[in-house]
Amino acid sequence: MNARKLPTVAGTPARAGAPIAGAWTSTLALALSGVVPAALAAAMVLLAPQAVAQGTKGDPKAAEAKIGACIGCHAIPGYKASFPMVYSVPMIHGQSAKYIENALTAYRSGDRAHPTMRAIAGSLSDQDIADLAAYYGKPQEKK
Amino acid sequence: MSPVGIPVRTRAVSRSFLPLLTAAALLAVAAPALSADLGAGEKLANERCAACHGKDGNTPIDPSYPRLSGQHEDYLVHAMRAYKVDERKNPIMGAQAKMLSRDDILNLAAFYARQPGMLNHDR
């Protein structure tokens, strides 16, 4: 990878420099070598497919054994999330299936931050997520 | 009018207003919709949201886009705010939400929460 070579490339100008300049350059190189891979990693995270594995087919019947962690909040009218902010937990039944799949995947990866949802989604497999999306999601009406 | 009389009088007035002020403050917290402008929300919804989320807020053009109509008002506010400050990351919604003022967000949430939708609390 490019990032590997950076310290050497950036370090090269130090040849002509006084010791102080050399030290400065290698500090810069060190900083860059940290920044660039971090930026690349961030870019890769953004580009990485966030969905569940392709071809995972959701089974709404199988989800019936998996909704225990959902109904304690989402099936109670008026229930509010209390941490870190107070607001009504969203209604999820009837939502777009793919949206639910994406939300759970994003919570699982930490892309979407909510302590409770992060903890719950963290224990879900791709199959679990597909099943729950199929269970709660309602397909688009044909128009 | 004695210099002493004025503060006393002021204190008396402010005390009599206290319950009213408290009630107003509570209402402002409990019911954002009271101050929301549904007409402005509808206008903005048609201009900015309908193209993707559907004209009725129930028929998004892509299956990965959520239905909005009938969703809890305070959750919609929370979601738009989260997109606005990049707490929730999405290139499209991030850009859209950044163009919304606080009032825009309150008006939109009030509007969509009052539209008939298919979302519910069923388990």
Identify which of A76, A93, A102 has the shortest CB distance to residue B119.
A93
Identify which of A70, A92, A96 has the shortest CB distance to residue B60.
A96
3-state secondary structure of A81: strand
Residue A125 lies in a domain: yes
User: Tokens 């825009």, residue?
Assistant: B104
Q: Are residues A66 and A40 in the same domain?
A: no
Distance from the Cα of B78 to chain A's closest Cα (Å) equals 7
* Structure confidence at residue A38 (pLDDT): 54
Q: Residues in chain B with pLDDT < 70?
A: 1-34
Q: How far apart are CA B118 and CA B79, in angstroms?
A: 19
Burial string for B4-13 (b: 16+ CB within 10 Å, else e) reads: eeeeeeeeee
Distance from the Cα of A118 to chain B's closest Cα (Å) equals 13
Q: How far apart are CA A49 and CA A46, in angstroms?
A: 8
The range of the structural domain enclosing residue A78 comes to 60-136
User: Is B88 touching A (CB cutoff 8 A)?
Assistant: yes
User: Is B116 touching A (CB cutoff 8 A)?
Assistant: no
* Structure confidence at residue A6 (pLDDT): 39
Q: Are residues A125 and A98 in the same domain?
A: yes
pTM, full prediction: 0.69
Q: Which residue has the higher pLDDT, A21 or B42?
A: B42
User: Is A5 touching B (CB cutoff 8 A)?
Assistant: no
User: Tokens 């009406």, residue?
Assistant: A141
Residue A143 lies in a domain: no
Residue of chain B with shortest Cα separation from A85: B78
Identify which of B66, B75, B120 has the shortest CB distance to residue A88.
B75
* Structure confidence at residue A22 (pLDDT): 46
Residue A127 lies in a domain: yes
Contact check, Cβ <8 Å, A93/B71:
no
- From chain A, the residues in CB contact with B66 under 8 A are 95-96, 99
Q: Are residues A128 and A92 in the same domain?
A: yes
Average pLDDT over residues A48-70: 85
User: Is B29 touching A (CB cutoff 8 A)?
Assistant: no
Q: How far apart are CA A112 and CA B87, in angstroms?
A: 7
Domain coordinates of chain B in residue numbers?
1-30, 35-113
Q: How far apart are CA B119 and CA A91, in angstroms?
A: 6
- Percentage of residues in chain A with pLDDT exceeding 70? 62
Q: How far apart are CA B114 and CA B116, in angstroms?
A: 7
Asked if residues A74 and A92 have their Cβ atoms less than 8 Å apart, the reply is: yes
Q: What is the pLDDT of residues A76-134, one digit of tens each?
A: 999 999 888 999 999 999 999 999 999 999 999 999 999 999 999 999 999 999 999 99
In this complex, how many residue pairs, one in chain A and one in chain B, have their CB atoms less than 8 Å apart?
Answer: 75
Whole-angstrom CA distances from B26 to B20, B30, B32 are 10, 6, 10
Q: Are residues A119 and A71 in the same domain?
A: yes
Q: Are residues A80 and A116 in the same domain?
A: yes
Please give the class, per CATH, of domain B35-113. Answer: mainly alpha
Q: Cβ atoms within 10 A of the Cβ of A109, count? A: 14
Q: Are residues A121 and A76 in the same domain?
A: yes
